[in-house]
Every structure is written in C-alpha cells, then in structure tokens.
Amino acid sequence: MRALPWLALALAFAFIYLPVGTLVLFSFQDGRVPVPPFTGPTLDWYAAVLADDDLMEALLNSLVVAVGSSALACALGFLAAYGLARHALPASGLMRGLLIAPMTVSYLIVGLGLLIVLNRLGVGVSLWTAGLGHAVINLPLCFAIVFASMGAQQHNAERAARDLGADEVRVIVLVTVPMLAPALLAAFFLSMTLSWDEFIIAFLLTRFDVTLPVEIWSLLRSGLSPKTNAVGSLVFLVSVAVVLAAELIVFGRRRR
C-alpha cells in the first residue's frame, strides 16, 4: 500500500513529461523524420536552427513581446490592485470581478475582438499590437496575484510612512513596491512564460514580424522534422529557465 502513492506520482510525472521527453529526444535524431527508431545523437538540427535567420528573428521578437507585455501587465495590474485595495471605491467588488473576468474568456475571442477594434481604429497589426494583446490577457493574472498579496502588513507600513511625512508617490515607490516585490516578480515571470508560448493572439495580431510560436506553426505546415523538435526544445528550455529564475529570485527572497 505504501508504494501506491509513489506509483501514482510516477504516473503523473510520466503523463506530464513523456511528450516533452519525446520531443527533446527526437530533436537529436540523425535523420530527416522524427519517428522511431532513434538514430543519433546529432546536433545538426540545433545548428540548423541557430543558422536560420527567420527563426532567430522570431525568437528575438518573442522575447521583446514577452518582456514588454509582461512589464505593462504588471504595472497596470499593480495600479489596479493598489487602487482597489487601498481606496474605498463604489462597486469595488464588481470592478474586481470585471478585472478578473477576461481570464475565463477564450484567447481566440480576445484576439478577434482586438483585431476588430484595431481595424476600426485604422491601426495595422505588428509586434506592438501583439504585445498589447498579451498585456490584455496577462493583466487579470497580474492583478489577481498582486491583489492577493496586499495584506494588513503592507497597509500598516504605508500608514506609518505617511505619518512620518511621506507623500503618496514616496509611499508607493519606497514602501509598497519593495514589500510586494515577490508578488510582482512572480506575476512578471508567469506572464512572460504565458506570452512566450502564446500562439492565437500572436497569429492574429502580427503580419510580417512574427513571434516564435507563429514561425513554428509555419514550419509545421511543411511536415514534421527534427528541426521542428529542436525549436520546440529551445522553447521548452527558455520556459524552464524563466521558471527556475522565478524560483531562485522570488522564493529565495521570501526565505531570506
């Protein structure tokens, strides 16, 4: 009976990581088709990815969109959380619900809505519009994380700072933001991970300068190859690196 929990845990890990492990394994396939039997290993496909200018440009675009949209989403989410947590506003419960509601809406609906609005405004699609779309879908998440972290401890410290003569801007910059740094960093890194992997909004709101998921989709249209697996492995590596950075920075800070 004691082995059952370990067996269940092993099955859960296998269910989650077996597809990723297969993807990474066949990215080293010494052949043109990423199917068994495995022949290799070789790094030729990784060299082909690094030598592909379109893929490298798409990777850089994804990083720019992920960092920019995450920073914007965190800033707006923090301001919304601060306003609703520290000020008695009319219908604050309704406003919180409206801020979190987009998390339940399909990315396809959000992307189509943004595309219609941008067309009505005469704004062409680009990396800027893709970043705006990612900020829209990540803002509710950032707001929820930051709002949940704004407790009585921060409120008391803010009141003490005001009693000592600090104005509102100094209170926010010197007291609130440092105390909420773990929550802000967690929101930023999680938003960056979601933006890095997002496809639907990036596909709808870009044209010539595309992100990496859109470029991978273009590769898949010509069929599977170990090169596609290599690109997917690099995407997975970046996502893992972001999660590990969040673990080291956010949770390491909390332990100290």
Residues 15-36: pLDDT tens digits?
Answer: 888 888 887 787 777 777 666 7
User: Domain locations in the chain?
Assistant: 48-255
Specify the range with the lowest mean pLDDT, choosing from 69-73, 163-167, 198-202.
163-167
Confidence class of residue 73 from pLDDT cuts 50, 70 and 90? Answer: very high
Q: Quick check: 223 pLDDT over 80?
A: no
CA distance 217 to 221: 6
From the candidate CATH numbers 1.10.3720.10, 3.40.50.300, 1.25.10.10, 3.80.10.10, the one assigned to the domain spanning 48-255: 1.10.3720.10
> In this predicted structure, what is the pLDDT of residue 65?
92
